[in-house]
A and B are shown apart, each in its own frame.
Chain A
Amino acid sequence: MSKSLNLYGGLALGSVAMLTAAYNFADRNVTPFPTDARLQGEAPSNPDLGFMVRPAVASTSTSDGPLGIGRVALPEEVAAWDLDVRPDGHGLPVGSGNVADGDELFQDYCAVCHGVFAEGVDNWPKLAGGSDTLDRDDPLKTVGSYWPHLSTAWDYVNRSMPFGNAQSLATDEVYAITAYILYSNDLVDDDFVLSNENFSEIVLPNADGFIIDDRDETELPVFSQEPCMENCKEAVEITMRATVLDVTPDQTAAREAFIAEEAAEAEAEAAEESQPAAETAATATEPSEPAASETAAAPATAALDMELVAAGEKVFKKCAACHQVGEGAQNKTGPHLNGVMGRTLGSVEGFNYSKTMAEMGAAGAVWDDESMAAFMTKPRDYVKGTKMSFAGLKKEDEIAAINAFLHSVSQ
């Protein structure tokens, strides 16, 4: 889902002076699509296309015609995979959905990342807002402000969403969610119904905001001049430094660890005479915990149905966008779930729970098979006002599997 790279870390981290003055010399000539003769299988030569490059002369394979490899695709197979929808509505199935239903579905399936009003949570994509920002610094690109075609939104929701549970929505649900996204961008009223019949009437605000790559006209001539080699400038000054921003990950950790290790060895060497002391120190730092926890864990592990745990791990992919488990798990959109089974509700330190969840915990409620199954079945019924925007699991075997998996990470 968040394919959006947040490319300006400095902005997120505060005061950064960015360059603002810029000119746009781009002319709006559009490269026409080639209309030359039918291309042949043998890689034709077409010097008119600047962006096309001919293949290397040697080592391209040739086959004159079909080799009879593969089999014919069945209509059901093509129907199952050929789902893409184009701007003209090609590929759009019959169906409809309204804003109100879309709102409900959006809260269930989308809001956890995209926000209740499609305004986005954390670094997850914002789907609404941003109108009139495209020519400003740091434009906000949403379905309403940037996307040229509604088909793209429908197609993406249909094939790629929800994150971790793609292709699970019914056709009418996709129409409804798309209608809600339009509504959240103030493009339709709250009684709007989107269907395959009125689909092509919707024109998004930035439909005309795109031009076809014009680099060959606007850049290539400028960037193909023989450059200066000597006495190219009088003076050179540094105008910006990356270390001032300090947004680079600590890539030196490994190097520092190596240096620290060397230093430690040097110390050990210096203290060669007093070796017994060093040995004592080493023994003292050896942790004694593993042995203890292994003994404790062993019987419980034996009791787990490992097949069910494995099935639960697969189901957990629906949860993994928000919840971490395993070594180093941290709180993300949801709390980490290490040790969740047997844990008091709302008790992970540093996570900001809903009021109800915290109160249930304070009253002594604990996560076990029963409470977890109830929560998984209908999260918002079990914990009124929970922050978890997950619709729940419909199948009992999925719930049994997820419980088994959660037990496995609770030992």
Chain B
Amino acid sequence: MTANSNDMKSSRRAFLRGALAAGGAVAGATAARAAGPDPLITEVQSWASGLGAPVDATPYGLPIQFESDVIRRNVEWLTADTISSINFTPIHALDGTITPQGCAFERHHSGAIELSKKDYRLMINGLVDRELVFTYEDLERFPREQHVYFCECAANTGMEWAGAQLNGAQFTHGMIHNMEYTGVSLRTLLTEAGLDAAGDLSDKWVYVEGADASSNGRSIPMEKALDDVLVAFKANGEALRMEHGYPARLVVPGWEGNMWVKWLRRIEVADAPVESREETSKYTDTLADGTSRKWTWVMDAKSVITSPSPQSPIRHGKGPLVITGLAWSGRGAITRVDVTVDGGKTWQPARLAAPGQKMALARFYFDHNWDGEEMLLQARAHDETGYVQPTKDQLREVRGLNSIYHNNCIQTWWVKPNGEAENVEIS
């Protein structure tokens, strides 16, 4: 393997030297002409004559070595330590909409725990006809569902309220992932326990709690619990990863990530919310006058251009350029994304790679012919309810600067003539 990559690098370097020597001849041509034959083509390469890796070389595969920098990253000053912390999905380097589990952001409050299927128990208690305990095997016997949903931390983009701060889409917008979940509807499990004891369901709640030491728990109104909430045990076709709540987690479509309780161990039907730490002292949005909004569960429509961006600069010079990004809404499906290259003087609709799905990431492309001048890039999401992603100033007018959570503002990248990009705010 090592020999292959070295050969490749030196060959490429030789080719690049040739291309550089050709210099001006390339400029202005519709298709560049090589200075000389490309040795990658004219010479027999080691991988074209020798043998590659056998099957089973890696029983569970990791990305090829050349992608080793496409990983989750942490911002150390955000938290006191890494046990109770968060990291960020490398969205600047991904395409499509599904986030591979191995690089999907993590948020733990007392560390990611190793809880085996054998040791897993899920309890339903409170205002139900039968208080029940399920094993993991029990969960697999209920009728299953499959859905693709995004999970966004309420604090995503939270560092940007007071100004442009972090220089990279991974850090400004990477507290998000999007996976295909397999699991059992929470409605099915509640039906198993029976809700007659709860009486009128319209003012009832379910409290959901994890098995880890943080006891992270959240109160969810019964209407949502009976609507589309899932108890998921597979993501993207395979078991959940430890850091995402193996063996079972809650999926609360469109609502803030903190409610997606991992290592789910208990579901309590109650006549009032618990008002736990994570739904009072945290994940509440303080307005400029000092009052705070609570129960701000839904994640509003949002988008970001993932490339070009500070971690994904333009290296190819002017000419055809793929501008791409992600859009999502907790209120429903994305119907349209607009893109501007001039800081919002003129907008044009981007192309959705596929029709938007409810509460799932949508991928958009904007095929641009770059003139090599600086650009102020922005994207603006629209969802099926008619909601249009606001500017940062619009949000600040309503909320002030201290909200921390639920910042779904339009993001600006300043692309310079050399192709580098920077996180900026504009007038």
- Interface on A for B, CB 8 Å cutoff? 1-10, 12, 16, 18-20, 22-26, 28, 33-39, 41, 43-44, 46, 49-56, 59-63, 65-67, 69-73, 77-78, 81-88, 90, 113, 122-124, 134-135, 137-139, 141, 143, 146-149, 151-152, 155-156, 159-160, 163-164, 166-167, 209-215, 218-220, 222-243, 245, 247-249, 251-252, 254-255, 258, 262, 265-266, 269, 320-321, 332
| Cross-chain contact B290 with A152 (CB below 8 angstroms) | no
Known: A155-B276, A248-B167. A5 touches B332 (CB 8 A): no
Cα–Cα, bound, A240→B427 (Å): 9
Provide 19 A-B residue pairs closer than 8 Å at the C-beta atoms, listed in order of the A residue: A2-B79, A3-B79, A8-B165, A9-B78, A9-B159, A26-B289, A43-B187, A56-B228, A60-B228, A66-B192, A85-B274, A90-B272, A160-B277, A211-B291, A223-B390, A229-B348, A243-B423, A247-B166, A248-B75
- Residue among A20, A82, A242 having the largest count of chain B Cβ atoms under 10 Å: A242
Known: A78-B125, A152-B277. A9 touches B13 (CB 8 A): no
Partner of A160, one of B13, B215, B338: B215
| Cross-chain contact A38 with B278 (CB below 8 angstroms) | no
Given contacts A38-B201, A78-B131, A152-B275, 18 further A-B contacts (CB under 8 A): A6-B77, A9-B77, A22-B396, A23-B288, A61-B184, A82-B268, A123-B77, A164-B213, A166-B213, A209-B292, A211-B294, A222-B394, A231-B345, A232-B346, A233-B345, A236-B426, A237-B426, A239-B426
Interchain nearest-CB distance for B273 vs A (Å): 8
| Cross-chain contact B10 with A265 (CB below 8 angstroms) | yes
| Cross-chain contact A24 with B289 (CB below 8 angstroms) | yes
Does any Cβ of A come within 8 Å of B343's Cβ?
Answer: yes
Interchain nearest-CB distance for A151 vs B (Å): 7
Cα–Cα, bound, A4→B81 (Å): 11
| Cross-chain contact B424 with A135 (CB below 8 angstroms) | no
| Cross-chain contact B346 with A229 (CB below 8 angstroms) | yes
Instruction: For chain B, give the interface size range.
Output: 35 or more
- Interface on B for A, CB 8 Å cutoff? 6, 9-10, 13, 68-69, 73-81, 83-86, 109-110, 123-126, 130-135, 138, 141-147, 155, 158-159, 161-168, 170-171, 184-185, 187-188, 190-192, 194-195, 199-203, 207, 209, 213-215, 217, 221-224, 226-228, 253-254, 265-266, 268, 270, 272-278, 280-282, 284, 286-298, 300, 310-311, 330-332, 338, 342-348, 357-359, 376, 380, 385-390, 394, 396-402, 404, 414, 422-427
| Cross-chain contact B396 with A5 (CB below 8 angstroms) | no
Known: A19-B162, A249-B75, A266-B13. A160 touches B401 (CB 8 A): no
Question: Chain B residues near A212 (CB, 8 Å)?
Answer: 293-295
| Cross-chain contact A4 with B163 (CB below 8 angstroms) | no
7 tightest Cβ-Cβ pairs between the two chains A and B: A135-B290, A254-B69, A236-B343, A134-B290, A123-B80, A242-B423, A2-B80
- When C-beta atoms are compared, the residue in chain A nearest to B340 turns out to be A232
Question: Chain A residues near B277 (CB, 8 Å)?
Answer: 3, 152, 155-156, 160
| Cross-chain contact A88 with B397 (CB below 8 angstroms) | no
| Cross-chain contact B266 with A82 (CB below 8 angstroms) | yes
| Cross-chain contact A77 with B295 (CB below 8 angstroms) | no
Partner of B110, one of A41, A60, A163: A163
Partner of B74, one of A113, A122, A235, A249: A249
Partner of B194, one of A53, A66, A138, A265: A66
- When C-beta atoms are compared, the residue in chain A nearest to B187 turns out to be A41
| Cross-chain contact A237 with B427 (CB below 8 angstroms) | yes
Question: Chain B residues near A36 (CB, 8 Å)?
Answer: 202
| Cross-chain contact B387 with A220 (CB below 8 angstroms) | yes
| Cross-chain contact A73 with B133 (CB below 8 angstroms) | yes
Partner of B425, one of A24, A159, A240: A240
| Cross-chain contact A70 with B161 (CB below 8 angstroms) | no
Partner of A224, one of B85, B185, B192, B386: B386
